[in-house]
Amino acid sequence: MSDVADWWSTAIIDMEPGRIDLRGEPIQDLIGNLGFAEMIWFMVRGDKPSPAQLKLFEAALVAAVDHGPQAPSIATARMAVTCGLPLNNAMASAVNMLGDIHGGAGEQAVTLYHFAASHSSNLEVAMDEWIALNGKILPGFGHRFHTPTDPRAPRLMALVDEAIANEACDGRFKAVAREIESELARRKGKPVPMNIDGATAVIYAELGFAAPLARGLFCLSRSVGILAHAWEQTQQGGRNKGPTPPKYRWTYLNAETLGSVDQ
């Protein structure tokens, strides 16, 4: 390390008293000229999207903002507020709920699409290999609540088609996702439609975002709903709300019950 300043190195920001440059551009030139979605792209990637790319990117961000208090992240935000936490702590608690199972499917679906694309000559083999490595649930397809179809996915895929027509992307990962959808239907004997995670994964893959960024972008998107719910709960009041109303009890597993479960 030649200088203390080398402790951290970044191409994202440079500043001194009276000057702030982000990605080489003065902050005052960005304020009022870049929308928030465009700013996210600019900060993460260092370039600026075309208008067609931006429209598709923003659509993915908008689609995932909320899925109600049944979603653990949203429920956590509301419960945190009733425990006396301020908005920032409620938001942090909620975002920390977004893991591999709740919040990770978009990243996993991008990974799946890249995996399948690398086996483009034989999708069936690719799916068998994926299932052997990761289990039988394919991320991005089917939905436990929205049956038969997640209403967000068809709209997003229509916007992907529009983006392809406007040369914002080439459609490679859209084709892969549709092939997986068809193969899943063949194997299951019924449709297993793409859900929002599968559709946003198509968008992020088409736009060139790395798989881990799909989860980070989902966190940004869902933070909007988290903030809205935390603020609403603040206005409603309530103290120490748990995941179920007070008069309802959990299922107690005694030794006899545990024995029957083990058998």
The residue whose two tokens read 């092939």 is 179
Q: Over 60: is that where the pLDDT of 263 sits?
A: no
Say what angle helices 172-188 and 152-165 make with each other, to 10 degrees.
140
User: How many angstroms separate the CA atoms of 53 and 71, rounded?
Assistant: 29
Element (H, E) at 89: helix 87-95
How far CA 41 is from CA of 57, 106, 159, 164, 205, in Å, comes to: 9, 17, 18, 19, 14
pLDDT of residue 2: 67
Q: Which of 73, 92, 79 is nearest to 222 (CA)?
A: 73
Q: How would residue 154 be classed by pLDDT, with cut points 50, 70 and 90? A: very high
Q: What's the whole-number mean pLDDT along residues 74-88? A: 98
Q: What is the dihedral of CA 103, 105, 110, 116, to 10 degrees?
A: 170
Tokens representing 210 are: 């790395």
| Structural domains of the chain sorted by starting position, each given as residue range(s) with its CATH number in brackets | 18-48 (no CATH), 50-241 (1.10.230.10)
pLDDT of residue 238: 95
User: How many angstroms separate the CA atoms of 122 and 176, rounded?
Assistant: 11
Is the peptide bond between 148 and the residue preceding it cis, with omega within 30 degrees of 0? yes
Q: Which of 210, 108, 194, 104 is nearest to 158 (CA)?
A: 194
User: How many angstroms separate the CA atoms of 68 and 225, rounded?
Assistant: 8
The torsion angles phi and psi of 67, rounded to 5 degrees, stand at: -145, 30
* Helix/strand/coil for 21: strand
Q: How would residue 74 be classed by pLDDT, with cut points 50, 70 and 90? A: very high
User: How many angstroms separate the CA atoms of 2 and 6, rounded?
Assistant: 7
Q: Which of 207, 236, 217, 204 is nearest to 65 (CA)?
A: 217
Q: Taking the CB of residue 117, how many other CB atoms lie within 10 A of it?
A: 16
Cα of 105 vs its chain's centroid, Å: 7
Q: Over 70: is that where the pLDDT of 260 sits?
A: no
What is the pTM (predicted TM-score) of this model?
0.93
Cα of 42 vs its chain's centroid, Å: 19
User: How many angstroms separate the CA atoms of 198 and 131, rounded?
Assistant: 16
User: How many angstroms separate the CA atoms of 59 and 222, rounded?
Assistant: 13
* Helix/strand/coil for 200: helix
Q: Over 70: is that where the pLDDT of 1 sits?
A: no
Give the tens place of pLDDT for each residue, 193-243: 999 999 999 999 999 999 999 999 999 999 999 999 999 999 999 999 998
